Chains A and B, each alone.
Chain A
């Protein structure tokens, strides 16, 4: 993987984007929905930060908060410094000079991200001319060039097509082209491959990589797909119930997870390189984000949960490696774990009797002896 670290067209050194204790909540008829509850991370220039979590874990909401794209009723607090400037204090007008020029965003569903009534070219040209004083013809030539970069064949003809004449994967490339149009310093890709066929996903990831290489932008890659993160990210934030529960490099997270939720996610992932492994799903579902109490939010689903997990929400503890942090009271217990099935119960396979048990949950590790994965 190429890691070309380039500082952008600015003097700033250090992280290009620093998020500290970001909190987002929405008042609703049913109460205050705490979508993001104090997330902290930073993004270094040219690096790719993967944000992983289930739907509803607050990963998209936090990204939209940075871009100022949340509905007006959202209550946002905390800090988000983009090259030293506080994003959360900017007016919409100030933000709109950054959006599209230095901060770009790519959305989940390419079928709905492009305006159906304008030609592809018009939409790219718009992105260019909003921030650059160039003629329409110049912008159009740039647009064609951008389309080539993201791998659209016949770019000089396709530029005059409407979005409905493109397939989903092609549309997502157009959105990527729009995102990279002004050589941004940060590209936020919010589930860029989720809505696409598996075969197309790889192509879109390639287009993203091309965009990153040609602009030198750092990227935030939001996804629920650990496979996508493994292939593209340098650092990873694992989010659960609105907060980052484990942060580390991609190797830390994959090979030395120190949070049972991360472990559980890895156990739910089918892997080609480990033939005999059985999947170990996390039982239960994420908590409702209304009226969250002071406890580890993962406790109801966690086989390791003990009394303290129900009494106190764990802060981020530093672990063995520098920069690798975990919000688990029992992170040290995970040092000895080499396989998710030591903690989580593997799925039952029907008709099994003959298949040998690879490994069983280790009773010493687990706080409960039953298979429910729920402790009261």
Chain B
């Protein structure tokens, strides 16, 4: 098992390196950091532009520039943005907010998907199964931004009217200048979190529950489940100890692969709910051709995706003894 972990870890480092090269050269090729300086009116003297060029190292060969950048990134220094402020200043706070939303929604959709998947599979072709199948297809076919806007306009406002005060917030990740104790702060975070989490979770829930249902159906038809029944195991034992235990294995890979997609999908949800988080950072960075900001976003996302793939690999090893050797 230890050898397996080490092997996977080394592979992850290599993938991260390759990804950083790809990210660096794709992102740096897309904009000229001096464009803004050049287009100024009155024109900036050529000497000033040249000085700035040297300052940010554009005169050096690309490989050298990459190494310099990568060296900084390894020490978690993502450089300065166009305004000259360290990218780090905003990056970590925003990452925290996005992760809050993404983790909450992954957990929510995972729990729902496994539950519904098992329920649908064990009651195949029942009304319950048809209901969840249809609603799953509906969520799969629904644009996140549309659903999010609906939730915002109806669910939140109705609910708040019902309870007579604002419990569910529709804008932002937390109330500005919030002055409250720990529990007050948590309640405030949760109130802001609830809608974006639901909006983000429903899509992945729909895909995962379909997947879990099919995987569960396959497993429940397998010979070893039949043998478990032939041994005299009761229904719950057959469904959970034998069925679900095996049907969960393929889902771990799917969830890990989709984690990146959920992280990316959060960009939309954050826009709809006006969160100042990673999505906004990327969109602003792209709009302003802010290379360091975009690079930071890509690298952080890349690391998260790779970490989750590593976790999935390890989980796979834990769950499936056949993989471990």
Contacts and interface: CB of A to CB of B under 8 A. Distances in A.
Interface string B217-243: 000001110111111111100000010
A113 B224 contact: yes
Contact of B230 (A67, A116, A117): A67
A99 B229 contact: yes
Interface residues of B, number: 21
Interface in A57-105: 67, 69, 92-93, 96-101, 104-105
B190 interface: no
Contacts, number: 72
B7 interface: no
B217 to A, nearest CB: 11
Nearest to A64: B226
A139 interface: no
Nearest to A100: B232
B260 to A, nearest CB: 27
B321 A69 contact: no
B319 interface: yes
Contact of A130 (B224, B226, B231, B319): B231
B93 interface: no
B320 interface: yes
A164 interface: yes
A334 B281 CA distance: 89
A175 interface: yes
B232 A175 contact: no
| Secondary structure of the B contact surface, majority rule | helix
Contacts of B224: 112-116
A99 B249 CA distance: 28
A178 B230 CA distance: 10
Contact of B234 (A96, A112, A162): A96
Contacts of A99: 229-232
Given A100-B230, A100-B233, A126-B228, 19 more contacts: A92-B235, A96-B233, A99-B230, A99-B231, A99-B232, A105-B227, A107-B227, A109-B223, A112-B222, A113-B227, A114-B227, A115-B242, A115-B246, A116-B321, A117-B249, A127-B231, A130-B232, A162-B321, A178-B231
27 contacts: A69-B230, A92-B235, A96-B229, A96-B233, A96-B234, A97-B232, A99-B229, A99-B231, A100-B230, A100-B233, A107-B227, A107-B230, A108-B223, A115-B224, A116-B224, A116-B246, A116-B320, A116-B322, A117-B249, A117-B319, A117-B321, A126-B228, A126-B231, A126-B233, A162-B321, A175-B227, A178-B231
